[in-house]
Structure 1
Amino acid sequence: MDEISTSKSMKSSKRPNFADEFKRGLVEQTFEPDASVSLVARRNDINTNLLFRWRRQYLEGAFGPPCPEHVAQKSADAIPTLLPVSIVDETSVAATAMTTAEAPSLAEGVCEIEFERARIRLRGDVSPATLKLLIRELSR
């Protein structure tokens, strides 16, 4: 009986020890365009939270110097760009809607995305990075 309980406790306390090269490879996959940390973790039978921890360690240099573009990407992701938002009642929009002949042409620097029940309009200097972020978030 003692042998069974001893082997059981030894079995449950053993954790896998992954090589730094393996960790680095998985983390670098998560920085690829359109990559999902969750999907990379699932494909490799790794807990998602563990992979996020490895990402933090990677950026701190725990698995060797990180690629400069990954550090720059993380810095850009850490500071979100906030955009002004106006919420307009759907009925007031319908009441004041103009025909396309009456509507003024959209000036440069305006990005408008129309959905079934909503419209997003970005005015001013809309950077490519902001548009990329917007498209990425809306496609989720």
Structure 2
Amino acid sequence: IRMAELTLQPDACVAQIAREHGINDNLLFNWRNLHRQGLLAPANRAALIPITMEPVTPPPRQNGVVSTDIPPVISCRLTLPGGSLNLTGPLTPELLRTLIIELRDVSHD
């Protein structure tokens, strides 16, 4: 967003700004157009990510009663362009929140 805003300054040269930041000028022109249309979101704004729900195997039963001795298994599979990450175990909201924050920070480096 910062680079797109730089292109909107009076006498700004998009090609020069792109060179200074090591990116293609066509990419910066695209970002500038998206910014003008209000389609670029600030980095601190919450982002939605697609999820899929898979059926869960029901817990085992003994004599028609669900066994409470076996803790439920919770798992999460995160599929990224470079590979997949499988998490199994006690997935707390705090753990998932931290994972999302860390992934977001890495993608902005």
**TM-score above 0.5, yes or no:** no
What TM-score, normalized to structure 2?
0.36
Point out which structure has higher relative CO (alpha carbons under 8 A, 6+ apart).
Answer: 2
Structure with more helix by fraction: 1
Structure with more strand by fraction: 2
What TM-score, normalized to structure 1?
0.28
Which of the two has higher C-alpha Rg? Answer: 1
